[in-house]
């Protein structure tokens, strides 16, 4: 059995996360028991939700245990199998974590899913045709429920979720305005992702400025919003929301370092009779096949053209993750292991 590099959570962050919170180790891979599968990971997914799990605090999911492999999505190849349903060479998606190999119980519900890398690139199963894509699909179709011609907004517009969101929304005849950090990302949003407009929040760095920019970009108001950031971004959207607007709350990355995120004017939700709903996409697994089918079709048709930021080698994961939290990535952030 191969030697296996792993990255563990060594200690919990105090305020902002740092590289010193992680530890790289090398261990022996245990022999397979009956029903188990050995997967060699090709790509590791880095996602903002991981930061919240590093805290020892109340959340929608259990916190990341200290001294254990960091949790995370992976795609890879079966290199040894003692399970009848998985054969050597199968390409699979799972939650193998921040390590080069994982030993997986093949009978565990949802632990491994065989995918076709000849139709969709293997890495896309961690982004556009994976959890981020399904997240965008769920928030759009199950909470925002847009009608053709309506104006929708999304924060972190050029990330893995935002890039899927715009493709799905444009397919439904909506006008879509993104909010992203920096002129390069905004150009990418309009020129490649087909956003109708994109607002640079770094150039509009407070509530008043961002609200005015949203007013100019959304002259008919905002009918639906997908929130990944929180803070003054959400405050600005609420100021421009139409009556009966819907807000899908997916992430609050502005508060992942433990700082509170008070709303300036929560009464707007009542005044506008808004629907504001948080969701966790893993609680809606029954809808994943429907979402993945549509997302794969958009990729195949060339309508969804996701961009990826890829670093090389497991040791690069901590710094790449910290960069993701600071908005340095362009599109889906991955670590390539093979």
Query: Which comes out higher in pLDDT, residue 288 or 59?
Result: 288
- Where b means 16+ CB within 10 Å and e means fewer, 107-133 reads eeeebbeebeeeebbbbbbbbbbbbbb
pLDDT in tens, 291-306: 999 999 999 999 998 8
CA distance 314 to 258: 27
pLDDT per residue over 119-156, tens digit each? Answer: 899 999 999 999 999 999 999 999 999 999 999 999 99
254 and 261 Cβ atoms separated by less than 8 Å: yes
Domains in the chain with CATH codes: 3-127+307-336 (3.90.180.10), 131-282 (3.40.50.720)
Which pTM was predicted?
A: 0.91
Q: What is the pLDDT of residue 208?
A: 97
Residues 8-37 as b/e (b if ≥16 CB within 10 A, e otherwise) read bbeeebeeebeeebbeeeeeebeebeebbb
Q: What is the mean pLDDT of residues 209-238?
A: 97
Report the alpha-carbon distance of residue 273 to residue 110 in Å, rounded. Answer: 38
pLDDT surpassing 80 at residue 57: no
| Residue spans of alpha helices (H) in 22-141 | 49-54, 131-138
Task: Report yes or no: 7 and 19 within 8 Å, Cβ to Cβ.
Answer: no
Q: What is the pLDDT of residues 166-195, one digit of tens each?
A: 999 999 999 999 999 999 999 999 999 999
pLDDT of residue 77 exceeding 80, the answer is yes
pLDDT of residue 253: 81
For residues 99-109, average pLDDT: 95
pLDDT category at 33 given cuts 50, 70, 90 is very high
Q: Give the H/E segment covering residue 217.
A: helix 207-217
| Residue that wins the pLDDT comparison between 327 and 103 | 103
Mean pLDDT of 304-322: 95
For the cut 90, the answer to whether the pLDDT of residue 261 exceeds it is no
**Confidence category of residue 330, pLDDT binned at 50, 70, 90:** confident
């Amino acid at each position: 059995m191969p030697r296996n590099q792993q990255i563990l959570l060594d200690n919990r962050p105090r305020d902002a996360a740092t590289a010193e919170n992680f530890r790289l180790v090398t261990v022996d891979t245990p022999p397979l028991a009956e029903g188990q599968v050995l997967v060699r990971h090709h790509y590791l997914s880095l996602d903002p939700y991981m930061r919240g799990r590093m805290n020892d605090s109340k959340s929608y999911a259990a916190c990341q245990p200290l001294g254990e492999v960091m949790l995370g999505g992976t795609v890879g190849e079966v290199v040894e199998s003692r399970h009848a349903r998985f054969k050597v060479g199968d390409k699979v998606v799972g939650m193998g974590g921040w390590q080069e190999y994982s030993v997986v119980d093949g009978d565990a519900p949802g632990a491994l899913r065989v995918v076709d890398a000849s139709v969709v690139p293997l890495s896309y199963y961690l982004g556009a045709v994976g959890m981020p894509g399904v997240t965008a699909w769920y928030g759009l179709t199950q909470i925002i429920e847009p009608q053709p011609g309506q104006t929708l907004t999304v924060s972190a517009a050029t990330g893995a979720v935002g890039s899927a969101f715009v493709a799905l929304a444009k397919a439904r005849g909506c006008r879509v305005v993104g909010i992203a950090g920096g002129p390069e990302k905004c150009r990418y949003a309009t020129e490649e992702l087909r956003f109708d407009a994109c607002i640079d929040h770094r150039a509009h760095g407070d509530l008043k400025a961002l609200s005015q920019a949203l007013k100019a970009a959304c002259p008919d108001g905002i009918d639906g919003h997908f929130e990944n950031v929180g803070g003054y971004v959400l405050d600005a959207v609420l100021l421009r929301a139409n009556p009966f607007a819907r807000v899908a709350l997916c992430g609050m990355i502005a508060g992942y370092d433990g700082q509170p995120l008070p709303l300036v004017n929560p009464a707007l939700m009542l005044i506008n009779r808004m629907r504001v709903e948080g969701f966790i996409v893993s609680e809606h697994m029954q809808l994943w096949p429907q979402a993945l089918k549509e997302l794969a079709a958009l990729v195949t048709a060339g309508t969804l053209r996701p961009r990826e930021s890829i670093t090389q080698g497991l040791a690069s994961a901590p710094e790449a993750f910290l960069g993701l939290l600071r908005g340095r990535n362009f599109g889906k952030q991955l670590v390539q292991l093979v």
